[in-house]
Amino acid sequence: MKYFIDTANVDEIKQASELGIIRGVTTNPSLIAKEGRKFEDVIEEIANIVDGPISAEVISLEAEGMIEEAEDLQKIHPNIVIKIPMTAEGIKATSILSKELIKVNVTLVFSVTQALAAAMAGAAYVSPFIGRLDDVGANGVALLEEIMWTFQRYDIKTEVIAASIRNKEHIVAAAAAGVDIATVPYKVLMDSLKHPLTDQGIEKFLKDWNK
């Protein structure tokens, strides 16, 4: 499993990137809006920090508009992956873009049938949102397991990105389900590096050393 970082904040991306464990970035319109900067500028800056897939999401709801946005986003940097919402229009756009060898990440996936449609349309990535399923009392991790089982059963090459990750336990469950990628918010990523016994151990080592 690889780590992507799920943020549009350039400082967070720089800091996470310095750890050397981030292989890509996912953004969405809400994350971009939080930055209060021009979309294209943010995406370009991110693409110059992380050498890996950078997901940038379209806002059109019709396939035609999605394709136009995708073509503009592609011009920013070759690593840009077009994030497209899981709708019938989104699937139509994904089929067309995939044939043009443009990489698509189908987002807002909440069921196996949605994941299958994305894969059949040729999406490079599919993003099931586990935290948002948990929020409504469903089981996000169970969905990951079902998608992984189905994709493995049919040898589907579309990579699965565990998205909407809220805590360390989600990372562990995503890894156990065998997903290709977990896209993790900065705070959760940093929290995942910590353990109270590590801190206590350092404190004791230093105390003993100074005696």
Residues that bind ligand E4P (CB under 6 A): 6, 26, 28, 107, 127, 129, 131-132, 163-164, 183
Largest CA distance in the chain: 71
Q: What is the nearest approach in angstroms of ligand E4P to the Cβ of residue 179?
A: 13
Which two structure tokens, joined as six digits, stand for 132?
Answer: 């948002």
Q: Tell me whether residue 93 or residue 184 sits nearer to ligand E4P (CB atom).
A: 184
Q: What is the nearest approach in angstroms of ligand E4P to the Cβ of residue 10?
A: 16
Distances (CA, A) of 109 to 71, 72, 85, 180: 23, 24, 8, 16
Q: What is the nearest approach in angstroms of ligand E4P to the Cβ of residue 98?
A: 18
All residues at 6 or more sequence positions from 75 whose CB lies less than 8 Å from its CB, including other chains:
none
Marked catalytic residue, from 2, 14, 75, 83? 83
Measured between alpha carbons, how far is 39 from 76 in angstroms, rounded to an integer?
11
Distances (CA, A) of 114 to 45, 64, 66, 126: 32, 21, 18, 9
Distances (CA, A) of 121 to 25, 57, 91, 142, 150: 22, 17, 6, 24, 16
Asked if 117 and 85 touch (Cβ cutoff 8 Å), the reply is no
The DSSP symbol for 159 reads: E
Q: What is the nearest approach in angstroms of ligand E4P to the Cβ of residue 118?
A: 13
Is 34 one of the catalytic residues? no
Which two structure tokens, joined as six digits, stand for 75?
Answer: 């011009």
Q: What is the nearest approach in angstroms of ligand E4P to the Cβ of residue 132?
A: 5
Which residues are the active-site residues? 83
